[in-house]
Amino acid sequence: MLIGYARISTHDQNLALQRDALLAAGCEKTFTDVASGGTVERDGLTSALQQLRAGDTLVVWRLDRLGRSLRHLIDTVGELQSRRVGFRSLTEGIETQSSGGRLVFHLFSCLAEFERSLIQERTRAGLIAARLRGRQGGRPALMDEKKIALARRMHTDPANSSADIASAIGVSRATLYRHLRPSAKPIPASPSVSQPV
């Protein structure tokens, strides 16, 4: 069975072109979505994937109607192949049940892997260049030297509990403990009612 899937991004667009092409290709059922390509949850696509059985073929008008990205497209088609379900894109003339179609998808997979490696390489190079200029990556520290000094002064007063100090500085108690750990004096715990043994 041929199962069609069509998607448009906005209600201003029209599904008729895709529906007609899928019908002409022999699709017995067609599922649709009105959603941007980046949308993760697409009910029509989910229903189409659930409908497919071994030996069926998922048909789309164009590759970008199915995948949010090249990686998502490859993963989706790979999942279909593992279920022995074919895939066909009408505009690009790709059909994974043919040797030529499988070759095209292997090339796509290699390109996606190459793109991911380039991104990782550029990220590493950027971090190294930033370090050489004296900048460190990561999130900014929650407590700077002024806050640490204030916390240490407050914690010398036994009337201040760790919860009070953390609240006054605007951090969690765990963050406060982490920054004051080198301090010799223990941080007084929050007052609690002692329970009889």
Q: Which residues are catalytic, by number?
A: 9
Buried b (16+ CB within 10 A) or exposed e, 105-117: beebbeebeeeee
What is the rounded distance in angstroms from the CA atom of residue 88 to the CA atom of residue 59? 5
Rounded to 5°, the CA angle 113-135-180 comes to 110
59 token code pair: 């048909």
Contacts of the segment 158-163: beta carbons below 8 A, 24+ positions apart: 158/188, 160/188, 161/188, 161/189, 161/190, 161/191, 162/187, 162/188, 162/189, 162/190, 163/190
Would you state the structure tokens that stand for residue 61, as one six-digit string?
């008008």
